[in-house]
Structure 1
Amino acid sequence: MSRSFVVGIRIFLITLLLVTCVYELGDFKLAKNGCDAEQRLKGPFEMDSQQVVKTIRLNHLTAPSSLPLNLTRQNDIRYSNNQYEYGWKFFHFYSQQFFSEHRHGFFIEAGALDGEFLSNTLWLEQHLGWKGLLIEADPINFKYLVWKRRKAWLSNTCISEKEYPKEAVFEMLQERSETFAVPWLYRANSRRTDTFFIKVEGDFLDFSAVSYSIVQCFPLASYLLALNVSSVDYLSLDVQGNEWDIIKNIPWDRISIRVMAVEHYHHNAKTLREGKGLDEEFVDYMKNINYTLVDHDDDANYIFVLKDDVIATRTITSYKDRNTMVNNSLIEVENYSRKI
């Protein structure tokens, strides 16, 4: 067998492999790097790649449920006084002001937990008929999220802080004993091991059992391409430390977001308490990308509105000035619980 014949066979096989990969992946650049698409998602991979979008659609999205909602917390007395703290009342107050007359909007909530406890989007879905996407990285939380039967798309992934998909390791906290009355607060503190949060002293770490999970992350734009959505009415970001980096990599020439609810801590903080103050550098950045700060509370929660949006022209009551609502906060919680 001549050497030229062997070389010819090798060229033929390589060409056949590439053709097969191009057929499967729909992208010659990806084919040159191998056929294992899931393996390629671990490294640099353009956010608008056809294969990224296809992979999200086929492997990382759960369709909205057609069954009745399966909510349980309003019947659990342990949650009656605590469930709506930790930023929920702050964000819910502004959701009511911004969107009470806006039906059938679209939301994204990253850090969705079980879809009920501390949910910033459940009210929009239930009472205004909104659709959306709920992203939850913790696999245990996600099982509960599916069980709640929300009318939104679900994804057991995380939002990448880069312009490409990548994998991340999550540290997940779980109640080790019946020390506290609200065990879901443990699950709300799941966090990535490569963020500043992992170095910050947590409130629950000494009382928690810790486990780890590898999670696939995608750029925010990739999810929207997979859902054929370019306009978002409400984005809720509570991912324990990567919120600002996620915002930095949103392609604003292709995506419109009207309102952003963001939990953001100072990255140079040594404790969570130190990190809760107003971060003027973060606010200036948001201003430079055309967002106006509406309010900031004492728990590192921010509300931003797109500067040119009609919401920004309204007279908005400040959360801090809502004396009647504060004085009757327990009544408000009880009334809301009855509704859901």
Structure 2
Amino acid sequence: MIGGRSRTVWRPAVLLLAGCYITFGLLYKSDDFTPRSVAIPTRQLLPQQEDNGLKHKLQKPSSQKWKFLLDGSVEAENPRVITWIREEHLYPPSSLPYYLETGKNIDFTQLDYWQRVHEGIMRLVNGKRGGFFLEAGALDGYYQSNTFFLERDYNWTGLLVEPNPVFFQSLLTRHRRAWATDLCLGTKPYPVKTEFWVHTGPDPEQSLIAASRSGLLKEHLENYEKEGLESGSVVEVNCVPAISILSALNVTQIDLFSLDIENAELDVMQWFPFDRVHVEVLVVEHWTAEDPEDSRAFVRLVEAKGFSFYRRDNHDYFFLHRTPRWVLARPGDSGAVDNLEPYKTIVKAL
């Protein structure tokens, strides 16, 4: 009787525990698209803080166990690379309200060059909803963004890439409905650690304008060496081939690829997996020499990747995939302008 009574008492308990275990597993099961163990930052509605020259390190240091990934000998899609990206360098979309304060920085929506690029993008998108973007050079996630209004008004999502540690911290407080990474798109076919120039500028009230010149050190020195090294800092950043991050997110189609990384675009595009990831619209900021042949050579290079040149606004180039999946615009239509008119001088702060 004692043994029978024990079985009678424990059987319901065992069944209850099993049910709880199954329920817990179902609740916390995630599909393959959602990286497991992604570090989720504290997302508080904080005002953007004034940068004082990187007195504190804002990037998460890579743990000791992952250091071997950055010695230039590991393949881009090595499973350990993908796990490292998911665990330490991918931040999921936020569901909190947007924080759009820009402090004393100028109203970027009044900037001539931003307006011209934005108008070109909106012509091509033509009201499409639910697209996926990749914005490399995302700054703080709002200022001069080529993707924010697609996200807010047309329910797009995507991936925001910003290795500048100061900007990346601000980007997270914007609460974008998109993935974010503090990695930079690599200019090599393997992960590496490299130096990044954080341009702070002499006027903290115009920090966003000044820091838009930040970039990989080599490219900074080539373009801004006359300004010297007085107005910024050099930090180390982790760079990986684009396919590494896209594989971590299982992304195979990008509806808008916005590439603005201060003259490192050609090297990034060299290793971008255009043969495996369909890019519908490509918008690239690329500074070319005054010689028209320089611009034509750049267009030919991109067209060799499977694109057709669509339009240009000064140093912003638009390309369409040669076999589009949804874009209706084609080269030669009314929106395909070739405007070399210089952008207007940046206005003063409002």
TM-score for the superposition, normalised by structure 1: 0.74
- Which runs of 5 or more structure 1 residues have no equivalent in the other structure? 1-34, 331-340
Task: Describe the shift of the 1:78–1:275 C-alpha distance in structure 2 as closer, same or farther (beyond 3 A).
Answer: farther
Is the contact made by 1:291 and 1:307 (CA closer than 8 Å) also made in structure 2? Answer: yes
Q: Distance in 1 between matches of 2:203 and 2:106?
A: 17
Query: Partners of 2:234 and 2:105 in 1: how far apart?
Result: 28
Instruction: State the 1:161 CA deviation.
Output: 1.1
Cα distance in 2 for residues equivalent to 1:277 and 1:118: 29
Is structure 2 residue 178 aligned with structure 1 residue 156? no
In structure 1, C-alpha distance between the alignment counterparts of 2:234 and 2:68, rounded to whole Å: 20
SS state of the match for residue 97, structure 1? helix
Query: What does 1:74-85 align with in structure 2 at a 5 Å threshold?
Result: 79-80=106-107, 82-85=108-111
Equivalent pairs counted in the alignment come to: 275
* Alignment of 1:102 onto 2:136: no
User: Structure 2 residue aligned with 1:198, among 199, 208, 221?
Assistant: 221
Q: Which amino acid aligns with 2:148?
A: L
Alignment-derived partner of residue 238 in structure 1:
260
Alignment of 1:307-326 (within 5 A): 307-309=322-324, 310-311=326-327, 313-314=329-330, 315-319=333-337
**Cα 1:296–1:59, aligned 2, differ >3 Å: closer, same or farther?**
same
| Corresponding letter in the other structure for 2:316 | N
C-alpha offsets along residues 256-290 of structure 1, whole Å, 9 cap, x if unaligned?
11111111123xx6xxxx59986211111122222
**Contact 1:262–1:302 (CA under 8 A) maintained in structure 2:** yes
SS at match of 1:261: strand
Q: Closer, same or farther in 2 for the Cα pair 1:127/1:276, shift >3 Å?
A: farther
Q: How does 1:1-340 map to 2 (within 5 A)?
A: 36-73=65-102, 79-80=106-107, 82-85=108-111, 87-177=113-203, 182-195=206-219, 197-201=220-224, 205=227, 209-266=231-288, 274=290, 279-298=295-314, 300-309=315-324, 310-311=326-327, 313-314=329-330, 315-319=333-337
1:279 counterpart SS class = helix
CA distance 1:45–1:141, shift in 2 (3 Å): same
- SS of aligned partner of 1:216: strand
Residues 84 and 228 of structure 1, relative CA distance in 2, 3 Å threshold? farther
For 1:9-61, what per-residue CA distance to the aligned partner results, in whole angstroms no more than 9, with x for missing partners?
A: xxxxxxxxxxxxxxxxxxxxxxxxxx943332231321111111111111101
CA distance, structure 2, for counterparts of residue 54 and residue 287 of structure 1: 34
Q: Is contact 2:89-2:181 (8 Å) kept?
A: yes
Aligned partners of 1:110 and 1:238 also within 8 Å: yes
**d(CA) in 1 for partners of 2:200 and 2:306?**
39
1:244 shift after superposition:
1.1
CA root-mean-square deviation: 2.7
Would the alpha carbon gap of residues 312 and 277 (structure 1) be closer, same or farther in structure 2, given more than 3 Å must change? farther
Counterparts of 1:84 and 1:110 in 2: how far apart (Å)?
Answer: 22
* TM-score of the superposed pair, with normalisation by structure 2: 0.72
Q: % of aligned pairs identical? A: 29
More helix by percentage = 1
| Distance in 2, Cα, partners of 1:297 & 1:94 | 9
Q: CA deviation at 1:99?
A: 1.4
Amino acid at match of 2:273: P
Corresponding letter in the other structure for 2:247: L
Tell me if the contact between 2:142 and 2:174 (Cα under 8 Å) persists in the aligned partners.
Answer: yes
